[in-house]
Amino acid sequence: MSNIFNKMMGRTRYVVCRLFLHLAGSDVAPILGELNRIARDAIAAEGDMQVMGEGLVDLCETLVRYDEYWLSASNEGDVFWNEGDAGDFVNDLFSDSAERYGADLELDSVSDQSLALPATRNIVVMITVAFEGEVPDLETDLASIQVLKEGLKALINLHYNHKLRAVQVHFSPARLGDELTNDQLLQYYPELIPL
């Protein structure tokens, strides 16, 4: 009832959510190449929402292709009726994601020599989005494989329905050759729930 009332009053509902996905296995390192490509495109686009949305679609499709490596996940979020408050929460989540181990991206440091470096067995991807409206598939506990797949599809649809207002992606380790150990997973990503 309150949503109908709010629509009548012309109020816009903003949702900000962050999804964590931990992939593990000996063959997860190629995902880092895809993540770095998406990151480079996003930086070059200087915040253009169309390019950011296309990158989000690429990322979600890549993650679904690698679903056999999904080990744990988590998500969080909140609903706002004020765009400024939603923006503040996006910034808070951005800062938190960037401060976690290995999530600071230095694209200049990725070189051809990286291919000879040891490959990590753990990758954590953090996706933060802000959107308008209601998306039940994202506004629920995503800590099961099937529900998480539906959540990733919902993120793709947000782009195609032009509902995205912000997109941020962090991942750890951010560089080929860096390693995210099991101890670091526990220390920096305590919210992860086994799938």
Residue-wise pLDDT tens digits, 135-174? 999 999 998 999 999 999 999 999 999 999 999 999 998 7
Mean pLDDT of the chain: 86
Instruction: Find residue 194's DSSP bridge partners.
Output: 72
In this prediction, residue 113 carries a pLDDT of 43
Which of the pair, 110 or 160, is modelled with greater confidence? 160
Is residue 47 predicted with pLDDT exceeding 70? yes
The partner residues of 21 in beta bridges, in order of sequence, read 73, 125
Residue 71 phi/psi, 5-degree rounding, is -115, -40
162 three-state secondary structure:
coil
pTM, 2 dp: 0.88
CA atoms of 157 and 163, how far apart (whole Å): 9
- Distance CA(39)–CA(46), nearest Å, equals 11
What tokens appear for 99 in the block? 């401060």
* Residue bearing tokens 């649809």: 157
d(CA 159, CA 4): 24
Residues recorded for the chain: 195
pLDDT at 166: 93
